[in-house]
Structure 1
Amino acid sequence: LPLTPLIHRLLDGRDEAPADFVTVEVLEVAPGVAADDVRTALAHLVEMQEPLRYRFLHNGLGWRAQCAATEHAELLDTTVLPPLGPEDELALLQADKDKLIDKLDLARGPLLQAKFYSRGLHRPGVLLLVVHHFAYDEISTVPLLEDLNGALADIAATGAPRRETRPPAWRAWAGQLNAMAQSDQLAGELTYWTSVLRAGQEGNAIPEAESPTAEPAPEPGVIERRVPADAFAAPLTVSGPASREAALAAVACAWARWRGQPYAYLSTVGHGSPNSYRPSDRSRSLGWFTNLFPALLPVAPGARVPDALPGIVDALRAVPHDGVGYGILRTLSPRTAAVAELRELAEPVVCVEHKVGGIDAIKVGDGAVRIRQAPLHTRQRTLMEVNPIVVFTAVVDDVLEIKLVHNGRFDADGMAVFADHLAEAFAELSGVEAVPPGVRQEGQG
Structure 2
Amino acid sequence: GPDRPGLLLFAVHHLVVDGVSWRILLPDLASAWSRVAAGDEPELEPVGTSLRTWATRLVEEASDARRLEELPLWRAALTGPDPQLGARPLDKGRDVFGTARTLTLTLPPEVTGPLLTDVPAALHAQIKDVLLAAYTVAVASWRARRQPTQGNAVLVEMEGHGREPVVEGADLGRTVGWFTSSYPVRLNPGQLDWNDFWGGGRTVESALDAVRAQLAELPDGGIGYGMLRYLNERTRSELAALRTPQLGFNYLGRFAAGGTDAKAQDWSPPPGMAGLGGGGDAAMPMAHSLDLNAQTQDHPDGPRLVAAWAWPDGMFDESDVRGLADAWFRALTAMVDRAADRGAQPATSAP
TM-score bracket, shorter-length normalisation = 0.7 to 0.9
Cα distance between partner residues in 2 of 1:340 and 1:231: 45
Aligned equivalent of 2:165, options 266, 275, 279: 275
CA distance in 1 between counterparts of 2:168 and 2:290 reads 27
Tell me, yes or no, if the aligned pair for 1:228 and 1:399 is still in contact at 8 Å. yes
TM-superposed deviation, 1:313 = 0.2
Counterpart pick for 2:179 among 259, 270, 289: 289
**What residue is the counterpart of 2:223 in the other structure?**
324
Other-structure match for 1:392:
293
1:225–1:403 Cα contact (<8 Å) kept: yes
* Aligned with residue 429 of structure 1, among 328, 335, 347: 335
Match of 2:268 in 1: 371
The residue that corresponds to 1:178 in the other structure is 59
Q: Note the 1:75-224 alignment, pairs <5 A.
A: 119-120=1-2, 123-158=4-39, 160-161=41-42, 166-199=47-80, 202-206=81-85, 209-211=87-89, 215-216=94-95, 218-224=98-104
- Alignment match, 2:308: 403
2:247 aligns to what? 350
| Residue 293 of structure 1: how far off its partner (Å) | 1.1
Q: 1:363 to 1:265 in 2, by over 3 A?
A: farther
Q: Are residues 268 and 125 of structure 1, via their aligned partners in 2, closer, same or farther at CA, if it must alter by over 3 Å?
A: same
For residues 296-335 of structure 1, the aligned pairs below 5 Å read: 296-303=186-193, 304=197, 305-335=204-234
Report the CA distance between 1:391 and its aligned residue: 0.9
Q: Distance in 1 between matches of 2:106 and 2:306?
A: 5
Aligned length: 311
Q: Deviations over 1:364-411 (max 9, x none)?
A: 996894113324464375796333321122333433322211133412
Q: TM-score if structure 2 supplies the norm length?
A: 0.75
Identical residues among aligned pairs (%): 24
1:423, CA displacement in angstroms? 2.5
Matched, 1:259 2:143: yes
Q: Which has the higher contact order (CA 8 A, sep 6+)?
A: 2
Q: Is residue 363–residue 370 contact of structure 1 (8 Å, CA) maintained in 2?
A: no
CA distance in 1, matches of 2:215, 2:258: 27
Partner amino acid for 1:197? L
- Pair 1:228–1:384, CA change in 2 (3 A): farther
Paired AA for residue 308 in structure 2: K
Structure 1: state its 5+ residue gaps.
1-118, 435-445
Q: Contact between 1:154 and 1:161, CA under 8 Å: does it hold in 2?
A: yes
Q: Secondary structure, in 3 states, of the residue corresponding to 1:357?
A: strand
CA-to-partner distance for each residue in 1:282-337, whole Å, 9 max, x for gaps? 2222111211111111123444344311000000011001001000111110135x
The 3 A distance-change label for structure 1 pair 268 and 364 is farther
Q: Per-residue deviation at 1:164?
A: 8.2
Contact 1:249 1:308 (8 Å CA) reproduced: yes
Q: Aligned partners of 1:228, 1:307: CA distance in 2, in Å?
A: 26
Aligned to 1:87: none
Using the TM superposition, give the Cα deviation of residue 272 of structure 1 relative to its aligned residue in structure 2, in angstroms: 5.4
Q: d(CA) in 1 for partners of 2:237 and 2:188? A: 27
- Once the two structures are TM-superposed, the CA of residue 349 in structure 1 deviates from its matched residue by 1.1
In structure 2, how many angstroms separate the alpha carbons of the residues matched to 1:164 and 1:355?
25
CA contact (8 A) 1:264 1:296 kept: yes
Equivalent residue for 1:341, pick from 238, 260, 267: 238
Separation in 2, partners of 1:280, 1:432: 40
- Amino acid in the other structure paired with 1:294: P
Q: SS at 1:127's partner residue? A: coil
Report the secondary structure of 1:282's partner residue.
coil
Residues 215, 287 of structure 1: alpha-carbon distance in 2 compared, 3 angstrom cutoff:
closer
In 2: Cα distance, 1:134 partner to 1:216 partner = 22
C-alpha distance 212-366 of structure 1, shift in aligned 2 (>3 A):
closer
Q: 171-180 vs 295-304, which deviates more?
A: 295-304
The whole-number CA distance in structure 2 between the counterparts of 1:148 and 1:364 is: 17
Q: Give the match's secondary structure for 1:423.
A: helix
- Residues in 2 aligned to 1:426 and 1:173: alpha-carbon distance in whole angstroms: 37
TM-score w.r.t. the length of structure 1 is 0.60
What is the Cα deviation at residue 277 of structure 1? 4.6
SS at match of 1:391: strand
Distance of 1:319 and 1:294 partners within structure 2: 10
**1:402 is paired with a residue of what secondary structure?**
strand
CA contact 1:142–1:364 (8 Å) conserved in 2: no
Moved more, 162-171 or 253-262: 162-171
* Alignment CA distance shift 1:203-1:232 (3 Å): farther
Within a 5 Å distance, the mapping from 1:238-249 to structure 2 comes to 242-249=126-133
Q: Say if 1:160 and 1:378 are closer, same or farther in 2 by CA, change over 3 A.
A: same
Q: Distance in 2 between matches of 1:248 and 1:316?
A: 9
Q: CA RMSD in A?
A: 3.6
TM-fit CA distance, 1:169: 2.8
Q: 2-side partners of 1:257 and 1:229: how far apart?
A: 25
Counterpart CA distance in 1 for 2:182 and 2:169 is: 17
C-alpha separation in 1, matches of 2:179 and 2:135: 24
| Farther-moved stretch of structure 1 (158-167 vs 293-302) | 158-167
Deviation, structure 1 residue 220: 1.2
One-letter identity of the residue aligned with 2:141: R
Q: Which position in structure 2 is the counterpart of 1:415?
A: 321
1:203 is paired with a residue whose SS is coil
CA distance 1:351–1:379, change in 2 (3 Å): same
Structure 2 unaligned segments of length 5 or more: list them.
145-150, 198-203, 341-351
1:190, CA displacement in angstroms? 1.0
